[in-house]
Structure 1
Amino acid sequence: MCWLSRSGQDGEKILHLRCASHEPWRPYTAFGKYIEPDYQIPGGSKGFATYQKLLKAGWTLLPSNPEK
């Protein structure tokens, strides 16, 4: 799991997932079997409910900019 900008720039970050290190990052919404409905909180992070579920299931959060 990783929090990345939707546009690849310095925009709003959303949860991205990949099942193997050789795969590209994709938005969490592309993983139907894993996603949870987003919390209806104004300004809330897109994918936070899914993040919580996957974290409890043993997934790992990776830094969004590991070179820094």
Structure 2
Amino acid sequence: MSRRMCWLSQAQEGEKILHLQLSPDEPWKPYTAFRQFAVPDYPIPGGSKGWATYQKLLKAGWTLVHSSRAQEFTLKDTSVVKNS
């Protein structure tokens, strides 16, 4: 299975949080949407949202994708849907 993760900005906040993707044909979703994988965040003021989950999933063999590359895939997927 192609499980991937990346750090993407939330639409309103601009703060990057961990996003997950179970397969390339699925959209990126915030880690909080995956209760089966997410673990509680560290209680550090200003800490990254999803850092504890990132560490867990990295150890489990998930692949980290650069944010610009993840956004590139998202834009391509969106243009294919619009042009269909």
Asked whether the two chains share a fold, i.e. TM above 0.5, the reply is yes
- State the SS of the aligned residue for 1:65: helix
**Corresponding residue of 1:43:** 46
- State the SS of the aligned residue for 2:7: strand
Q: Distance in 1 between matches of 2:34 and 2:48?
A: 17
- State the SS of the aligned residue for 1:29: helix
Q: Distance in 1 between matches of 2:14 and 2:38?
A: 22
**Corresponding residue of 2:78:** none
The percent identity for this pair of structures is: 68
Gaps of 5+ in 1: none
What is the TM-score normalised by the length of structure 1?
0.91
**Corresponding residue of 1:25:** 28
- State the SS of the aligned residue for 2:32: helix
How many residues are aligned here?
Answer: 66
Which structure carries more helix by proportion? 2
**Corresponding residue of 1:58:** 61
Q: Which runs of at least 4 in structure 1 moved beyond 4 Å after TM superposition?
A: none
Letter in 2 for 1:18: Q
Gaps of 5+ in 2: 73-84
Q: Distance in 2 between matches of 1:29 and 1:13?
A: 13
1:24-68 CA-to-partner distances (Å, cap 9, x unmatched) read 00000000000010000011000000000000000010010026x
Q: Distance in 1 between matches of 2:57 and 2:40?
A: 13
Give yes or no for the alignment of 1:2 onto 2:26. Answer: no
**Corresponding residue of 1:14:** 17
